[in-house]
Amino acid sequence: MLTLEEIACALSTEPWTVVMHNNADLDAFGSAVALYTSFGLRISAFFGLSRAAKHLQRACGVPLSEEKPTGNILILDTAQMTEIPLQPQKLMVIDHHPTTKPERNTYVDAESTSCAEIVYKLIKISGRSLDRRGALGILAGILSDTSQFRRAGSETLRTVAEIMEHSGVNIDEVLSLFDPTPPKAERIARLKAAQRLGFEDICGFIVATSVVGAYESSSCLALLQLGADIALVASQRNNKFQMSTRATPDVEALGLNMGQILQNIGREIGWDGGGHPSAAGMRGVGDAEAALHICKEQIKEILGNKAQHKCKKCGG
């Protein structure tokens, strides 16, 4: 596995293009902004940006390339390498998802709550400066992947305080990137997810499933707000499906890891799955309803085993 020192050296001696996953979120794009301002790296938006990432792009004014990236490529914040169908001259990967394989050309820190924190360490190690735009990008990435500090530890908070102190960026500026009013199409998708949902009480946890045409991740969050402990939402596009999953902190505290569950299912069937313990995704060739059923049954088995183990342990 690469070291941050090796990555800093490579970025300082050759031109590189930053590539992000499909519909790049604030963590991926915020990290890219910081690398652009500190190292002068080119940013590829070939795979698209999320709504919040587009807000950040307008706020920072960094140039983007819409062409298919070539040459030396640095991939940020990807759970699965197969999501990036490219043939680069040289390739490096920076990620914080535990599902990424620790290959020779990767740097993975599964203890980091965001990719942005890793990029900030990289910039510090390189001795380069972080300007105001880069600071906004790093802070946006951290707030995004810690659910606005809900999953932030003491080290993350110290990093945020350090960046704010040196850059002058305040939290209000960062929070303004989180649009509280989704577009009409997204709100309709959330309503359809609620209209079509099915749910089951599994070992005291409410597991909700639904199918929508788009906005799977947003629909998952809506189902959690309705009262679900675990939400599974999928969409069907021709012969392919895409799924997002979300879980509450109580589920995560129990030890149920959605990222690991989806990764294991994906490896067994041939789908791409992975992510965080409380937020993960999966995609592949197949039926969306069948994929939802497989995931729910796996969750049911794991929750049942954990409940049985807890009962034996306490003697109840």
Q: Which CATH superfamily is domain 4-175 in?
A: inorganic pyrophosphatase (n-terminal core) (3.90.1640.10)
Is residue 304 helix, strand or coil? Answer: helix
Closest CA to 151 of 57, 59, 247, 63: 247
- Classify domain 184-314 by CATH architecture: Roll (3.10)
Convert the pLDDT of each residue in 70-84 to its tens digit: 999 999 998 565 556
| Residue 243 clears pLDDT 80, i.e. is over it | yes
pLDDT at 79: 54
Rounded mean pLDDT, 251-257: 89
Domain boundaries, the chain: 4-175, 184-314
Rounded mean pLDDT, 289-305: 93
pLDDT at 97: 82
308 vs 210, residue with greater confidence:
210
Is residue 104 helix, strand or coil? Answer: coil
Alpha helices in the chain (DSSP H): 4-13, 26-39, 51-60, 115-126, 132-145, 154-167, 171-175, 184-195, 216-226, 249-254, 258-269, 288-314
- CA-CA-CA-CA torsion sign (284, 286, 289, 294): negative
Convert the pLDDT of each residue in 99-156 to its tens digit: 555 677 899 998 999 999 999 999 999 999 999 999 999 999 999 999 889 888 999 9
Instruction: Write out the two tokens for 122.
Output: 């990289």
| Residue 180 clears pLDDT 70, i.e. is over it | no
